[in-house]
Amino acid sequence: MTDIQATDAASGAGGTAEDDAFRVIEARELCLTFETNDGPVHALSNVDLTVDRGEFVSFIGPSGCGKTTLLRVIADLEKATAGTISVNGMSPEEARRKRAYGYVFQAAALYPWRTIAGNVALPLEIMGLDKAERAERIARNLELVNLSGFERKFPWQLSGGMQQRASIARALAVEPDLLLMDEPFGALDEIVRDHLNEQLNQLWDRTNKTVIFVTHSIPEAVFLSTKIVVMSPRPGRVHDVIDCNLPRERTLDIRETPEFLEIAHRVRDGLRAGHAYDDE
Amino acid sequence: MTMNDVLKSKTFAVGTVVLVLIAIWYFSAVMLNAPFQRELDERAKLSPTTGQFIEATLNQKRPVLPAPHQVAVEIWNTTVEKRITSKRSLVYHGGITLSSTMLGFVMGTVLGVTLAAAIIHVESLERSLMPWIITSQTIPILAIAPMVIVVLNAVGISGLIPKALISTYLSFFPVTVGVVKGLRSPDPMQLDLMRTYSASSFQTFWKLRWPSSIPFLFTSMKIAIAASLVGAIVGELPTGAVAGLGARLLAGSYYGQTVQIWSALLSAAFLAAMLVTIVGFADKAVRRRMGIMQ
Ligand SMILES: Nc1ncnc2c1ncn2[C@@H]1O[C@H](COP(=O)(O)OP(=O)(O)O)[C@@H](O)[C@H]1O
Ligand SMILES: [Mg+2]
């Protein structure tokens, strides 16, 4: 998988081969306007974004600022109305066809007639993996989200938080190099959330995956990210990009350090400025 | 069980309704059969007491409205008392009707599901096909049935198939409409998920749309199986078929055998109730297996 993408990217037009090999997302002047009955909604306006391999990028901003829309454009679930975007050096559509990413939706979206194991198996069946490989990936990824033992339960037998964890296991089972996560922990309680934040950080550190992560929570964004994209609404745009150079290996204790608080402070200022701009 | 529980139980409620219906039935039978009975008595120069008169109205040979016990006796005599191979056995006639009902129901369900699958995959089909499908259901079945039977007879097809085709005609429609709705029932996020996996439309159909449509399918099948039974009975009428519940109805009305008509009618109603109940059980069993029953 990695090899194919590297060669594809290298043979892509524009830029030096070396640059492109590390570039996962490249968006320039991206716009998306929804035509609604109440007139056009400018969900994205002139968004520039670059994400390199191995980065952990968070989108943060008030609701309605286009975070989900931007993620959906990357995933080829929505088409930009202007501007350019490439994913792994390809168009989003080509990238989607090559199953370049795993997507975690805001709601678990489990299929109610499939057991938890059956839900995790869904993408693997579609990819045509054999039974042994499926079983192995199901066990490994359910273990990762602490759901071992729940394989044969149906979604309605699990709490909302457990359902969301199952949906994360389902995305991870595809073993994509790029993970797109839309407020995956939004509905979970603090303790589960902390635990999953640590798990996600370790997973990212170990596997060198690229993660794009939408969140409402400043501490979550700072704890997880290498780069925080602060967005503001009406029209949806990138207000600021804040680098976050905490050590790759972190524990939750890092949230008490001055470096952490300093970055969190800058994110909060950015969010406030974005809002003030909106109120004028 | 306290008195209160008894009053609230389902058996009690159903029992009460049945008793009330039977009472109304007896009352109507007396009222409707009275004029003819009065005529008979006058001709025979009889002057019966009220009790004798009422008893006579409820035991005529060819009443306008047969009394419940007359129908019950007739049903008993033509089911339990007759060998089922006998031409006079209601079980035999019911079996004939049931076989074309089932064949028509299966064909109607397959046709309905096929049309529904085609409609959701090819957008233009909805616009081109749907008006015809709806029009087909506005034509009275009584107008179509004789033509179907006669035309098929002319090309040498008779017996089960023509009747089953009429059942198919009546039963495919609720299935098409219900399954189209079911195949479209997955929410946008469930469909987006398939898109992120780059699933083919075949995979999306079998792994998402089809399982989502199962509850809709069963609801439609309950309507379709009752419609199939109506179709089979109507299909037995026009040619003066010799067997089946429809034939019993027709023969009964030729010879003024109202008791026979009513016993055929009640048998048909009973059969319909049984079939719908069986589909209901299948529905429950399938849902439980799929885990969507809570
Ligand atoms: N399919 C759609 N049709 C019309 N408007 C939409 C659609 N999806 C999103 N929007 C609008 O676009 C804006 C951005 O939405 P979204 O990306 O969901 O924001 P966020 O995820 O940051 O809360 C909102 O104003 C929203 O109402
Ligand atoms: Mg959102």
For residues B169 and B231, is the Cβ–Cβ distance under 8 A? yes
pLDDT at B218 over 80: yes
Assess whether B140 and B223 both reside in one domain.
yes
- Domain membership of residue B30 (yes or no) is yes
Residue A20: predicted pLDDT: 59
Assess whether B207 and B131 both reside in one domain.
yes
How far, in Å, from the CA of A186 to the mean position of ligand 2? 10
Assess whether B170 and B205 both reside in one domain.
yes
Residue A15: predicted pLDDT: 47
- From A142, A175, A208, the end of a domain falls on A175
How confident is the model over B127-146, as a mean pLDDT? 85
Residue whose CA is at the smallest distance from ligand 1 atom 21: A68
Dist CA B55 CA B176 (whole Å): 52
The chain B residue lying nearest A174, using CA atoms, is B197
Assess whether B45 and B105 both reside in one domain.
no
Assess whether A191 and A165 both reside in one domain.
no
Determine which of A63-67, A75-79, B82-86, B102-106 has the lowest per-residue pLDDT on average.
B82-86
- From B14, B46, B64, the end of a domain falls on B64
Residue A133: predicted pLDDT: 95
- Domain membership of residue A33 (yes or no) is yes
- Domain membership of residue B131 (yes or no) is yes
* Cα-based distances in Å from A112 to B10, B188, B192: 32, 15, 16
- Domain membership of residue B266 (yes or no) is yes
- From A140, A159, A175, the end of a domain falls on A175
- Domain membership of residue A84 (yes or no) is yes
- Domain membership of residue A279 (yes or no) is no
Structure tokens at A274: 């974005």
- Domain membership of residue B246 (yes or no) is yes
Assess whether A30 and A154 both reside in one domain.
no
ipTM: 0.86
Assess whether B140 and B47 both reside in one domain.
no
Q: Is B143 exposed, middle or buried (0-12, 13-18, 19+ CB in 10 A)?
A: exposed
Q: Identify the three-state secondary structure at position A250.
A: coil
For residues A141 and A116, is the Cβ–Cβ distance under 8 A? no
If you count DSSP H runs as helices and E runs as strands, how many of each does chain A have, helices first?
10, 9
CA distance, residue A154 to nearest chain B CA (Å): 7
Q: What is the CATH classification number for the domain harbouring A85?
A: 3.40.50.300
Residue whose CA is at the smallest distance from ligand 1 atom 26: A64
Structure tokens at B255: 């010879």
Dist CA B107 CA B198 (whole Å): 34
Assess whether A186 and A237 both reside in one domain.
yes
Assess whether A261 and A149 both reside in one domain.
no
- Domain membership of residue A105 (yes or no) is no
Test A126 with B197 for CB contact under 8 angstroms.
yes
Tell me: cis bond preceding A235? Omega within 30 of 0 counts.
Answer: yes
Q: Which of A36, A15, A29, A156 is nearest to A83 (CA)?
A: A29
Dist CA B76 CA B267 (whole Å): 11
For the beta carbon of residue A171, count every other beta carbon within 10 angstroms.
Answer: 23
Predicted TM-score (pTM) of the model is 0.85
For chain A, what is the domain count?
2
Residue A13: predicted pLDDT: 44
Q: Which of B187, B192, B197 to mutate to test the interface with A (most CBs of A within 10 A)?
A: B197
Assess whether A181 and A167 both reside in one domain.
no
Assess whether B114 and B245 both reside in one domain.
yes
- Domain membership of residue A106 (yes or no) is no
Q: Which of A72, A111, A116 to mutate to test the interface with B (most CBs of B within 10 A)?
A: A111
| Domain extent for A115 | 111-175
The chain A residue lying nearest B289, using CA atoms, is A113
Assess whether A18 and A84 both reside in one domain.
yes
Dist CA A123 CA A129 (whole Å): 9
- From A175, A194, A212, the end of a domain falls on A175
Assess whether A9 and A89 both reside in one domain.
yes
pLDDT in tens, B10-21: 888 889 999 999
Most confident of B50-59, B82-91, B215-224: B215-224
- Domain membership of residue B100 (yes or no) is yes
Confidence of residue B293 (pLDDT cuts 50, 70, 90): low
The chain B residue lying nearest A104, using CA atoms, is B193
Structure tokens at A171: 């995305």
Assess whether A22 and A133 both reside in one domain.
no
Q: Does B61 touch chain A (CB under 8 A)?
A: no
Q: What is the CATH classification number for the domain harbouring B151?
A: 1.10.3720.10
User: What is the secondary structure of chain B as a DSSP string?
Assistant: --HHHHHHSHHHHHHHHHHHHHHHHHHHHHHHHHHHHHHHHHHTT----HHHHHHHHTT-SS-SS--HHHHHHHHHHHHTSS-TTSTT-HHHHHHHHHHHHHHHHHHHHHHHHHHHHHHHH-HHHHHHHHHHHHHHHHS-HHHHHHHHHHHHHHTT--THHHHHHHHHHHHHHHHHHHHHHHHT-S-HHHHHHHHHTT--HHHHIIIIIHHHHHHHHHHHHHHHHHHHHHHHHHHHTTTT-SSSHHHHHHHHHHTT-HHHHHHHHHHHHHHHHHHHHHHHHHHHHHHHHHT---
Assess whether B99 and B160 both reside in one domain.
yes
Assess whether A27 and A66 both reside in one domain.
yes
Sort out which chain B residues have CB atoms less than 8 A from A98's CB and list them: 198
- Domain membership of residue B256 (yes or no) is yes
- Domain membership of residue B74 (yes or no) is no
Structure tokens at A169: 């296991």
pLDDT tens over chain A, length 280 residues: 444 444 444 444 444 555 556 889 999 999 999 999 999 999 999 999 999 999 999 999 998 899 999 999 999 999 999 999 999 989 999 999 999 999 999 999 999 999 999 999 999 999 999 999 999 999 999 998 889 999 999 999 998 889 999 999 999 999 999 999 999 988 788 888 888 898 889 889 888 899 999 998 999 999 999 999 999 988 888 998 999 888 888 888 888 888 889 899 999 988 888 765 544 4
Dist CA A35 CA A267 (whole Å): 32
Assess whether A92 and A170 both reside in one domain.
no
- Domain membership of residue B78 (yes or no) is no
The ligand that comes nearest to the alpha carbon of residue A42 is 1
Assess whether B47 and B123 both reside in one domain.
no
Assess whether A93 and A118 both reside in one domain.
no
For the beta carbon of residue B85, count every other beta carbon within 10 angstroms.
Answer: 8
| Domain extent for B235 | 90-290
